[in-house]
Chains A and B, each alone.
Chain A
Amino acid sequence: DVKVTQSSRYLVKRTGEKVFLECVQDMDHENMFWYRQDPGLGLRLIYFSYDVKMKEKGDIPEGYSVSREKKERFSLILESASTNQTSMYLCASSLWNSQYGYTFGSGTRLTVV
């Protein structure tokens, strides 16, 4: 069964901490994405990557960075966590043309206190 695996289901961090969210896919997909989802706001794209070591800003990149050193792994980094970054974070992957849609990970619910 093909999978997108996110390292943590629930995470609680303190304000100012550096936070790493990890995502691994086993489908040999070219594209990987990080979204956050908040009630009433839908899915908002933070960053995406079309290839190893490539990254593109999405709609809300401020306060975040990403790393893609290997094709299967895409990491989201919160440089200095703030309470307004409390959210559900979703990783997704797809083929290069997204022709068959995205496969999502199970999500990480991050709470910053």
Chain B
Amino acid sequence: QKEVEQNSGPLSVPEGAIASLNCTYSDRGSQSFFWYRQYSGKSPELIMSIYSNGDKEDGRFTAQLNKASQYVSLLIRDSQPSDSATYLCAVGRGSQGNLIFGKGTKLSVKP
């Protein structure tokens, strides 16, 4: 059974701090990795994708991938109250097949 695990939270950080969200996966054949943000009552929105080991930065967001440890993370720098949401990690094989989603980590950024 392929799995994607995330800490459900809530993760609470003060405004301006760095929020660190973590995800582990079980399928060593995974090739594509995604972070989705989901506000309460809304649908998931893709915010980051990463395909190779290392870091990928996009504005205040940095995705980190370590395939040897089967670990992917999302860092949010200078966290804002508007970043308060649930963050879903998703993993895929890059061939015809579904993404596997974690259950999400709820982030709360306190002013």
Chain A residues in contact with chain B, CB under 8 A?
Answer: 33, 40-43, 45, 48, 50, 90, 94, 96-107, 109
| Interface pair B46/A33, CB less than 8 Å apart | no
Are B42 and A107 in contact (CB-based, < 8 A)? yes
- Cα(A41)–Cα(B49), bound, Å: 24
- Asked if B101 CB lies within 8 Å of chain A CBs, one says yes
Count how many pairs of residues, one from A and one from B, have CB atoms less than 8 Å apart in the complex: 56
Interface residues of B (CB under 8 A from A): 32, 34, 36, 41-46, 49, 88, 90, 92, 94-99, 101-104
CA distance in complex: A54, B22 (Å) = 35
Name the prevailing secondary structure of the B interface residues: loop
Question: Chain A at the B interface: mostly helix, strand, loop or mixed?
Answer: loop
Q: A50-B96, A96-B96, A98-B32 are in contact. Are A103 and B103 (CB under 8 A)?
A: no
Q: In the complex, which residues of chain A have a beta carbon less than 8 angstroms from the beta carbon of B41? A: 109
Known: A43-B88, A97-B92. 14 other contacts (CB 8 A): A40-B103, A41-B103, A42-B103, A50-B96, A97-B94, A97-B95, A97-B96, A98-B32, A98-B92, A98-B99, A100-B49, A101-B90, A101-B99, A102-B44
